[in-house]
Copies of this chain bind each other. A is one copy, B any other.
Amino acid sequence: MSGAGKFIQNAIIEDSFWSRMRETVRREGIPYQWKALNDQIPGAEPSYCMRNFRIAAGKESGQHAGFVFQDSDVAKWIEGAAYSLRWHPDEELEAVIDGAIEEVVAAQQPDGYLDTYYIIGGLDKRWTNLKDNHELYCAGHMIEAAVAYYQATGKRVLLDAMIRFVDYIDSVLGAEAGKLHGYPGHPVIEMALMRLYAITQDPKHLKLAKYFVDQRGQRPLYFQQEDERNHNAFYWKDSYFQYQYYQAGMPIREQTEAQGHSVRAMYLYSGVADVARETGDAELAGVCRRLWDNTVRRRMYVTGSIGSSEYGEAFTFDYDLPNDTIYGETCAAIGLVFFARRMLSLEAKGEYADVMERALYNGVISGMQLDGKKFFYVNPLEVLPEACLKDYGKRRVKVERQKWFGCACCPPNIIRLIASLEDYIYSANGRDLFVHLYAGGRFEADVDGKPVQIATRTNYPWEGDVNITVGVDAPAAFALKLRVPGWCEGYALKLNGEALNVPVVDGYALIDRLWQDGDRIELALDMPVTLARANPRIYEDVGKVAVSRGPLVYCLEEADNSRSLHNLRLGDAAASDFRTIWKPDKLGGIVELKSPGLRETDDGWGEIPYSGVKPIETQPVTLTWIPYYSWANRAPGEMRVWVRR
């Protein structure tokens, strides 16, 4: 397999788009969420998260509160805060994280076990419900936090604690006789163990990850045995999901469709891809490709969101992508970004980066208010406010982002992704240096054993021009591979001001040469407005188009276009009829689009509900389009992505 290799960490991002958002995350999101974890946000649902750790450590008395997976919220927060230290050292924040880690580690048991739900509720009950009680999920997130904090600071307190916990997990679970043959109901520990293994190189860590991947769904089914043994409820027994809700209805090597809970699916597939790459298991890589294809070709929204149904927060069936009853959880789109990056590491194909970019610029960042203080769980493509209140099937679709959630998986998840965004942009494999995403900034990496500095200037995603300067100590031969996005129909390349013609291989423009210090690459990606149709099998989108420009999907919002967005049509408007306007003061700075359109009126209809003779009259209007991610930052109102012709 010829993958894009390892992703380069510790790049510096400096550009207008991401720097602002990352600063928002650093200045607002991280401190805000620390308050939330400590129940200090007035009017928000309490988290109880840190309190649980203090109770578990015997510092306070009380009962465990919140979900069984409440521990994972601080884990994700530590991870996100740790990333921010990489690009913005902050002693004060580091001290807060050290304090949090002290609280976490204080609850660890002598045998290494660490899960406040069972420490408080009774250790005798641990490992009795791997299916639903999230012990391994919490462990996985805390391992990721430990790795991130260790990599950011070199501090090992949490890392060592987690290694001890993994030792204990390994003594309890595994293929060997005498161990429980279980695996997590909610995956994440698979990819966490692979990150740990990357540091420790301890074969036990790889072996345990591989065990979790391969044991899942084997007969006899562990979850079924566990349910019988411990009289656990099986919530999905009358559902078509059955154990595929957990992606555990069959061994992973037999799975062909993205099924069940969409976040669990993405986390599992990400871990499977990690194991496939590390072990060179071609069959397992094929399984990942198959599940990837099903996910992004038949079950993904144009915004990169996934999960069509609130029921089970899950995938449904091929081409079932309702825009108004969507689940489209922020965490699921984030999971798709994780999965995409791992597929890139397996195979250097632009398609993976295309999806990663689509999810990132749309269904992921739509999850966060521009001020970093409110969050969406559900990311709809069509919203009618009254329906969210009065149509029970849309009750989880919100018109405004929420301050915090009792089940607060999404807010810290988006923060840890944005804070570590630099890890998704560049990768190196042998003498190939890949640029997968375009963001301004700089980094230094070893390419084929030689240090290479790359500096990028761009106003992406608002403009398609990307200027890259290469720095080398001495002339160095290597291949720079610049992604030509799938949405891009035309581009131009220059080297030191001269036009350059190079082949595009698997979606990457390949510039293989002996690089001189100061070489300048100018990539100009055409970024016209695109009017996309959906595959005719996607029945909810027939007769409609989605407007995008570059990686950004656009939408109509009531604040710009008044009410009854369903009566707006594009009519004969072509992509070339759209005007782009840079609006520095609107929604944090956006390129707004204006297009001709039509509004269908009910003039003359009065109170007649149905008529064979009344005409539908249209009047010409100007439609105003904003980037999808920026919706719901003004007065609550209607929004829609797919618009009729």
Contacts and interface: CB of A to CB of B under 8 A. Distances in A.
Interface of A: 240, 293, 296-298, 300, 302, 308-312, 316-317, 320, 322, 325, 384, 386-387, 389-393, 487, 489, 530-539, 542-543, 546, 548, 564, 566-567, 569, 575, 600-602, 605, 607-614, 616, 644
B390 A320 contact: yes
Contact of A564 (B390, B537, B566, B612): B537
B390 A533 contact: no
A154 to B, nearest CB: 44
Nearest to A241: B390
A300 B487 CA distance: 43
A322 B537 CA distance: 20
Interface centre among A536, A538, A614, by most B CB within 10 Å? A536
B297 A536 contact: no
A301 to B, nearest CB: 9
Contacts of A530: 612
Contacts of A302: 609-610
A42 to B, nearest CB: 22
B539 A384 contact: yes
Contact of A600 (B298, B536, B564, B614): B536
Contacts of A325: 325, 391, 393
B609 A390 contact: no
A595 to B, nearest CB: 15
Given A240-B389, A390-B320, A534 B293 contact: no
Nearest to A569: B543
Contacts of A610: 302, 532-535, 546
A546 B316 CA distance: 29
B546 A566 contact: no
Nearest to A645: B543
Nearest to A538: B609
A311 B564 CA distance: 24
Nearest to A534: B610
Given A386-B320, A607-B293, A612 B298 contact: no
B309 A607 contact: no
A316 B391 contact: yes
